[in-house]
Amino acid sequence: MASRPKLTEVAELAGVSIGTASQALNNKIGVAPETRQRVLEAAQKLGYLQYSPSRFNPNISTVGVLMKHPKDDPDIVNPFYSYVLAGAERECQRHNLSLMYASIEVDEFSRALSWPPMLSEQQVDGLLIVGAFLEPTISQISEQAGLPIVLVDGYAYNNDCDRVVTDNVNGAFAAVNYLIDQGHRHIGLIGSDANAYPSIRERRKGYTRALKTHEISKQYIEDSILERESAYAATVRLLERAPQITAIFACNDDTAIACMKAAREMGRRLPDDLSVIGFDDIDLAQEIVPTLTTIHVDKLLMGAMGVRHLVDRVRDPERASLTTSLGTQLIIRESVIGI
């Protein structure tokens, strides 16, 4: 029995990219008429069209979820994005849709190194790109896939994509404002730098805005990336140069946990000598000692909203792009006390 023709074969025969072939077959704008005709003729010659009736139907049956996987890194489940994936899966079930998940290997610059079959073989009708991808990589994925795309916890200002994001500025503002309400005036920031991903720069902005609102001029910022080892070292540097600090806002829970470990090993009692607040509300936040005060992000809703945007986009491909910003909630636990 002959195997079904693939989109890659159609693109090769027509002499175009996979993305162009997909756009032509989906009757998308931006494809020259002669190019579209060449693609259709190639698809007809290979018998591709008989296997792909849904390509011309304004409905969606299979949602793809794509996350990045750094080259040579161990395969560790992300405690944040696992809930986003679960939320997308629940919403797919509600709409009677299938869901396919794949990771894409990237290099140290977040450039794609390989393409999962669900993209190269056009096995999905729309795509959720979940997490922090560099904008050129998003453009590369968009060109390769040739499908409707929704960014979940992602940013691409030069790509006309729907997005589901967190209200990071107000979430961070609430975190630092709570510390100030508890009497803290010397408050550090860990887990960001000036060139960080947009969501982290927004949290940094929320930190500075809260201090300015309360007319606190002294900022204590120690740059680091969102990785425990980096956050640990940054906390040590910060507390050594500014021992008067009584509280730290960490840009996510993982870095908050690293801050707590560093402070404890430097002889600080938690929360008596140092209060710490995080962001995201991952499961581990409730299990460490002291339990972590943090900003809750509705990760399940993020995934569900991504699917809803994708269904709407497939049904109305010409509508204006939408961005949904999800609010946050302060979760008070044991890692912050008043002074």
User: Are 42 and 71 part of one and the same domain?
Assistant: no
User: Are 175 and 162 part of one and the same domain?
Assistant: no
Does a structural domain hold residue 336?
Answer: no
Can you tell me the distance from the alpha carbon of 18 to that of 23, in angstroms, rounded to the nearest whole number? Answer: 9
| Range name among 36-50, 201-215, 292-306, 310-324 with the lowest pLDDT average | 36-50
Query: pTM, whole model, 2 decimals?
Result: 0.82
User: Are 279 and 190 part of one and the same domain?
Assistant: yes
- Considering only CA atoms, give the Rg of the chain: 23
Does a structural domain hold residue 57?
Answer: no
**Sign of CA pseudo-dihedral 119, 124, 126, 130:** negative
Does a structural domain hold residue 103?
Answer: yes
User: Are 191 and 246 part of one and the same domain?
Assistant: yes
DSSP 26: T
Does a structural domain hold residue 54?
Answer: no
* Sheet (strand 247-250) strand order: 220-222, 187-190, 247-250, 275-277
DSSP 2: P
> pLDDT digit string (tens) for 194-207?
889 899 999 999 99
User: Are 185 and 291 part of one and the same domain?
Assistant: yes
Does a structural domain hold residue 314?
Answer: yes
User: Are 193 and 212 part of one and the same domain?
Assistant: yes
| Range name among 9-18, 40-49, 161-170, 237-246 with the lowest pLDDT average | 40-49
43, HSE (Cβ side, Cα atoms, 13 Å) = 23
Residues of the chain with pLDDT > 90, as a percent, come to 60
Measured in degrees and rounded to the nearest 5, phi and psi for residue 240 equal: -70, -40
User: Are 157 and 172 part of one and the same domain?
Assistant: no
Does a structural domain hold residue 338?
Answer: no
Can you tell me the distance from the alpha carbon of 36 to that of 28, in angstroms, rounded to the nearest whole number? Answer: 10
Domain carrying residue 248:
168-296
User: Are 312 and 283 part of one and the same domain?
Assistant: no
User: Are 197 and 253 part of one and the same domain?
Assistant: yes
User: Are 162 and 273 part of one and the same domain?
Assistant: no
Does a structural domain hold residue 234?
Answer: yes
Q: What is the mean pLDDT of residues 38-58?
A: 68
> pLDDT digit string (tens) for 227-250?
999 999 999 999 999 999 999 999
User: Are 161 and 172 part of one and the same domain?
Assistant: no
How many structural domains does the chain have?
3
DSSP 104: E
User: Are 135 and 27 part of one and the same domain?
Assistant: no
Find the CATH number of the domain harbouring 202: 3.40.50.2300
Does a structural domain hold residue 53?
Answer: no
> pLDDT digit string (tens) for 130-185?
988 777 778 777 777 778 899 999 987 766 789 999 999 999 999 999 999 999 99
| Amino acid 329: pLDDT | 98
| Amino acid 72: pLDDT | 65
